[in-house]
Amino acid sequence: MGEYSKALDFYEKSLKIREISRPPNHPDCAQSDNNIGTVYNNMGEYSKALEYYEKANKIFEISLPPTHPNLAISYASIGVACYGMGDYCKALWLLEKALDIFRKSLPSTHAHIKIVMNSITVVKEKL
């Protein structure tokens, strides 16, 4: 638990610095939110993770083109949190959305595509 606390502390400090030094809705701020969400997700605090993932997603949707890989990562992150909360239908929808973006923006052999495809398989097993 101590390492998670340290990670949260560093990511929260990073977010504060980025919010001060960047314009509103800058993708760097969203990246910090996503990192904080990932720590909470790894701790099993899925609702808290979802809060940060959704905040990041809103910024990415505003600041990035619709086929940007970071937007896909954001959808996949939300999908993983939904999976952790037992919302398998929403998780599947989000992971498929992420996969669609990855397929449009990355080479077919990219690791992100394989990871999301594996996640989709895991979710489908729960449905």
pLDDT digits (tens, 9 = 90+) for 12-38: 999 999 999 999 899 999 999 999 999
Q: At residue 1, does pLDDT exceed 70?
A: no
Give mean pLDDT, residues 107-112: 98
Domains and CATH numbers, the chain: 2-126 (1.25.40.10)
pLDDT digits (tens, 9 = 90+) for 55-97: 999 999 999 999 999 999 999 999 999 999 999 999 999 999 9
Q: What is the pLDDT of residue 4?
A: 96
Q: What is the pLDDT of residue 70?
A: 97
DSSP state letters, 27-77: HHHHHHHHHHHHHHHHTT-HHHHHHHHHHHHHHHHHHS-TT-HHHHHHHHH
